[in-house]
Chain A
Amino acid sequence: MSMSSIDLTTPTRQSARGLILIFLFSFQKFVRAFWPLFLVLVFQNNIFQNQRVVYITILVFVVLLAAHTILYYLNFYFYVAGDEFILKKGYLRKQTLSVPLERIQSVNTKQNLIQQVLDVVTLEIDTAGTVGKELKIHALSKAYSNALQEKLQTEKSTKKWAEETTDEKTEKAKEETLLHLSPADLLRIGISQNHIRAGLIIIAFGMQLFNQAQDVFQEQADKYSNEFIEFMSHSNWALITFLVIFFLLVSILFSLLRTVLKYFDFKLFKRAETYRIESGLLNKRNVIIPHQKVQELNWETSPLKKIFGIYHLVFKQAVSGQNRRQQQQQLVDAPGCLKHHLERLKSDLFGEDKLNEAPRIYTNNFYFRRLWLLFGRIPVILATPFFYSEWIYWGAALVWLPAAAGYCYLIIKKRYFRVNNNQIRISKGAISHKWEQMELHKIQAVEFKQSIFQKRRSLASLDLMNASGTITIPFIDEKFAKQLYDYLLYHTEISKRSWM
Chain B
Amino acid sequence: MENFTNSVVLPGNLPEIEPEKFTGLNRKYLTVLYARILIVFLILAGGLIAFVSLADETVPGKFIYLIAGAILLIISYSVVITTLGFPKKGYLIREKDVSFQRGLITYKVTSVPLNRIQHVEVNQGVLGKILQLSSVKIYTAGGTSSDLTIPGLSEPEARKMKAFLSGKISEHE
A and B form one complex: yes
Mark A residues whose CB is within 8 Å of B: 318-320, 322, 358-365, 412-413, 416, 419-421, 443-452, 455, 463, 465-467, 469-470, 476-477, 480, 482-487, 489-490, 492-493, 499-500
A-B CB contact pairs (8 Å), 14 listed: A362-B1, A364-B4, A416-B1, A444-B146, A447-B110, A447-B146, A448-B17, A448-B110, A451-B107, A452-B105, A452-B106, A465-B140, A476-B4, A489-B113
- The winner among A318, A412, A416, A448 for most chain B CB atoms within 10 A is A448
Which secondary structure dominates chain A's binding surface?
A: mixed
Nearest chain A residue, comparing its CB with the CB of B5: A359
Nearest chain A residue, comparing its CB with the CB of B98: A445
Q: How far is the CA of A168 from the CA of B14 in the complex (A)?
A: 39
Check B170 for interface membership: any CB of A closer than 8 A. no
Residues of B within 8 A of A487 (CB): 10-11, 14
Q: How far is the CA of A451 from the CA of B105 in the complex (A)?
A: 6
Write the nearest CB–CB distance from B17 to chain A, whole angstroms. Answer: 7
Check B53 for interface membership: any CB of A closer than 8 A. no
Q: How far is the CA of A364 from the CA of B3 in the complex (A)?
A: 9
Write the nearest CB–CB distance from B85 to chain A, whole angstroms. Answer: 12
Q: How far is the CA of A492 from the CA of B11 in the complex (A)?
A: 14
Given contacts A416-B1, A445-B112, A486-B16, contact A450 B106 (CB under 8 A): yes
Contact partner of A486 among B14, B106, B112, CB < 8 A?
B14
Given contacts A319-B143, A445-B116, contact A484 B10 (CB under 8 A): yes
Q: How far is the CA of A320 from the CA of B142 in the complex (A)?
A: 9
Check B58 for interface membership: any CB of A closer than 8 A. no
Nearest chain B residue, comparing its CB with the CB of A486: B14
CB atoms of A486 and B17 under 8 A apart: yes
Tally of contacts, chain A with chain B, CB under 8 A: 119
Residues of A within 8 A of B109 (CB): 447-448, 485
For the complex of A and B, 7 pairs with smallest distance between CB atoms: A444-B142, A445-B146, A465-B146, A362-B1, A465-B142, A467-B141, A493-B96
Contact partner of A443 among B1, B8, B113, B145, CB < 8 A?
B113
- The winner among B97, B105, B116 for most chain A CB atoms within 10 A is B116
CB atoms of A449 and B2 under 8 A apart: no
Write the nearest CB–CB distance from A296 to chain B, whole angstroms. Answer: 12
Residues of A within 8 A of B141 (CB): 318, 320, 444, 467, 499-500
Check B120 for interface membership: any CB of A closer than 8 A. no
CB atoms of B108 and A465 under 8 A apart: no
Given contacts A359-B7, A446-B110, A492-B115, contact A466 B142 (CB under 8 A): yes
Write the nearest CB–CB distance from B87 to chain A, whole angstroms. Answer: 16
CB atoms of B6 and A444 under 8 A apart: no
Nearest chain A residue, comparing its CB with the CB of B16: A486
Given contacts A412-B1, A444-B116, A486-B15, contact A449 B146 (CB under 8 A): no
Q: How far is the CA of A464 from the CA of B2 in the complex (A)?
A: 23
CB atoms of A455 and B4 under 8 A apart: no
Nearest chain A residue, comparing its CB with the CB of B114: A493
CB atoms of B106 and A451 under 8 A apart: yes
Residues of A within 8 A of B144 (CB): 322
Given contacts A322-B143, A492-B115, contact A483 B1 (CB under 8 A): no
